C-alpha cells in the first residue's frame, strides 16, 4: 500500500448484508485504498473478526477498551479520507443521529471530520418507519451522505426497498466521494433525474434499430450525484450493468416510453439530465412476425422510417420545468466545430446546459473515457479534456451546482 493511498474506514453494522461488505472491502483495497474495518459487536455475529482481519490486513476491534494508549476512538477518525458504513442498520442510523458513542464505530463517527457515507440495509417497514425517516433527514442535514437502499430480495422470502446496493456500485460512490476530497455535498436535497442508455425501436419481434450507447456515462452521473447528496432517479433504456447505488431505476425500451417517463419526471425534478441516446427514427410499420429472408426472395426491402419525438426540445419549451441539461454526441472534425454544435443545440432545444462530445474509437460510446465541452446560456464554455466518465460526471455536476447557486 502506497504512503498516499486513500485512508478509508469501513464501518459494518449488524445486519445480514454484512457479507456484502466483505466484497466491498476487497474492492476498496484492490482500488488502492488503505482500509480499517470497524464492525459493531452484533456485526461479528454475521461475519467473524478473523475474516475482517484477513481481508483488511489490520487488527479489528469493536470497543474503545482495546489498545487504550493509542486512544483508538479518536485516532482512527483522524487523518482519514472517508468513512463508509455498509450495511447501516436502523439501529446504527438511530445511534448516529442521536450522537451516541457507545462503541468504537459510533465514537469514530463523532470524532472524524472526513466525509461519511451511510449505506442503509433493512426491511422495508423499518426503512419507511417515521423514526428512520427522521434519523436519515437529521444525518443528511449534518452533511452525511445517506444513499437510498436498493429494491429487491430481502431476508427470507420478502422483497422490497431495503436491500444493500451491490459492492461495485458502493465502490463507485466511494470513489466519487474520494475524488471530491473535503468538498461539501453540494447537491444535498436536490431531486435529480437522469436518462441513460440507448433506446430501441422494433423492426420485428427479433430485430430493432438502436445505437451504441452503453449507459456508462449516465451511471457515472448517478453515482457522482448520490455522492454529492442528491436524491437520484434514473430512467434507463437498455443498460446492462449493476444499478448505481443510491438511485431508483425506471426501465424503458423505446423513445416513446422515454418521452412519457421524462415528461412525468419533469413535474417533480429539480434537475433533469438527458444523457440517454434516444433514437431519432423508428420503423414506420414494424412487422408482427420475424422477417425471413426466404419470404422476401432473398432481396432486401426498404425500411420506411418516421421521426420520433424530440424529447429535449419538448422539455426545453415547457413553461414550468426543472434545470435542463442536454447531451449531444457529434462526429465533427475540430473542437471549434464541437463548440458550435453545442451552442446550436443549446439554442434550438431550450436547455440550460449542453454537454457535447466527439464520438469515435476509444471515446464516447462503449468507452470508459470521454472528453466534452459544456456550454450554458450565460455563454460560459467549459472544456474537459479526455478523462474517465466519472471525471466528466463531476464536471457536469460542478456546472449544474454553479447554476443552482445562481438561482
Q: What is the CA radius of gyration of the chain?
A: 23
**Tally of CB atoms within 10 A around 196:** 29
Distance CA 287, CA 94 (A): 57
Instruction: For residue 250, give the H/E element and its range.
Output: strand 247-252
pLDDT at residue 116 above 70?
yes
Task: Write out pLDDT tens, residues 373-390.
Answer: 999 998 878 899 989 989
Predicted pLDDT of residue 1: 56
Q: How confident is the model at residue 361 (pLDDT cuts 50, 70, 90)?
A: low
Helix 389-406, helix 167-180: angle, nearest 10: 60
**Tally of CB atoms within 10 A around 95:** 20
Tell me, yes or no, if the two domains 7-180 and 191-406 fold the same way. yes
Q: Which CATH number fits domain 7-180: 3.40.1280.10, 3.40.50.410, 3.40.50.300, 3.40.50.1950?
A: 3.40.50.1950
Model confidence, pTM: 0.87
Residue ranges per structural domain of the chain: 7-180, 191-406
Find out whether 270 and 322 touch, Cβ atoms under 8 Å.
Answer: yes
Question: What number is the average pLDDT over the span 195-208?
Answer: 94
Highest mean pLDDT among 46-50, 61-65, 157-161, 356-360: 46-50
CATH superfamily of 191-406: CoaB-like (3.40.50.10300)
Q: Which residues are catalytic?
A: 211
Amino acid at each position: 500500500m502506497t504512503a498516499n493511498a486513500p485512508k478509508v474506514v469501513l464501518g459494518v453494522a449488524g445486519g445480514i448484508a454484512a457479507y456484502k461488505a466483505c466484497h466491498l472491502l476487497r474492492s476498496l483495497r484492490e482500488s488502492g485504498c488503505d482500509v480499517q474495518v470497524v464492525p459493531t459487536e452484533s456485526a461479528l455475529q454475521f461475519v467473524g473478526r478473523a475474516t475482517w482481519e484477513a481481508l483488511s490486513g489490520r487488527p479489528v476491534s469493536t470497543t474503545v477498551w482495546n489498545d487504550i494508549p493509542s486512544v483508538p476512538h479518536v485516532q482512527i477518525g483522524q487523518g482519514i479520507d472517508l468513512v463508509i458504513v455498509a450495511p447501516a442498520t436502523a439501529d446504527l442510523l438511530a445511534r448516529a443521529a442521536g450522537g451516541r458513542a457507545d462503541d468504537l464505530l459510533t465514537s469514530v463517527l463523532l470524532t472524524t471530520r472526513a466525509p461519511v457515507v451511510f449505506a442503509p440495509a433493512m426491511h422495508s417497514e423499518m426503512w419507511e418507519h417515521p423514526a428512520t425517516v427522521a434519523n436519515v433527514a437529521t444525518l443528511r442535514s449534518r452533511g452525511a451522505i445517506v444513499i437510498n437502499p436498493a429494491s429487491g430480495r430481502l431476508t427470507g422470502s420478502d422483497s422490497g426497498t431495503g436491500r444493500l446496493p451491490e459492492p461495485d456500485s458502493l465502490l463507485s460512490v466511494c470513489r466519487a466521494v474520494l475524488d471530491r476530497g473535503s468538498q461539501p455535498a453540494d447537491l444535498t436535497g436536490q431531486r435529480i433525474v437522469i436518462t441513460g442508455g440507448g433506446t430501441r425501436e422494433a423492426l420485428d419481434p427479433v430485430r430493432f434499430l438502436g445505437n451504441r450507447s452503453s449507459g456508462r456515462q449516465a451511471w457515472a452521473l448517478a453515482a457522482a450525484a448520490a455522492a454529492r447528496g442528491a436524491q437520484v432517479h434514473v430512467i434507463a433504456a437498455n443498460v446492462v450493468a449493476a444499478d448505481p447505488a443510491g438511485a431508483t431505476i425506471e426501465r424503458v425500451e423505446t423513445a416513446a416510453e422515454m418521452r412519457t417517463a421524462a415528461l412525468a419526471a419533469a413535474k417533480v425534478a429539480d434537475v433533469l439530465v438527458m444523457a440517454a441516446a434516444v433514437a431519432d427514427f423508428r420503423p414506420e410499420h414494424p412487422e408482427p412476425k420475424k422477417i425471413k429472408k426466404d419470404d422476401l426472395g432473398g432481396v432486401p426491402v426498404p425500411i420506411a422510417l418516421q421521426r420520433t419525438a424530440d424529447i429535449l426540445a419538448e422539455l426545453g419549451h415547457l413553461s414550468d420545468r426543472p434545470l435542463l441539461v442536454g447531451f449531444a454526441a457529434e462526429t465533427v472534425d475540430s473542437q471549434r466545430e464541437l463548440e458550435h454544435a453545442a451552442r446550436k443545440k443549446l439554442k434550438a432545444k431550450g436547455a440550460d446546459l449542453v454537454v457535447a462530445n466527439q464520438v469515435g474509437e476509444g471515446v464516447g460510446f462503449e468507452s470508459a473515457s470521454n472528453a466534452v465541452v459544456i456550454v450554458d446560456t450565460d455563454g460560459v464554455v467549459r472544456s474537459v479534456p479526455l478523462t474517465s466518465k466519472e471525471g466528466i460526471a463531476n464536471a457536469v455536476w460542478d456546472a449544474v451546482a454553479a447554476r443552482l447557486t445562481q438561482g
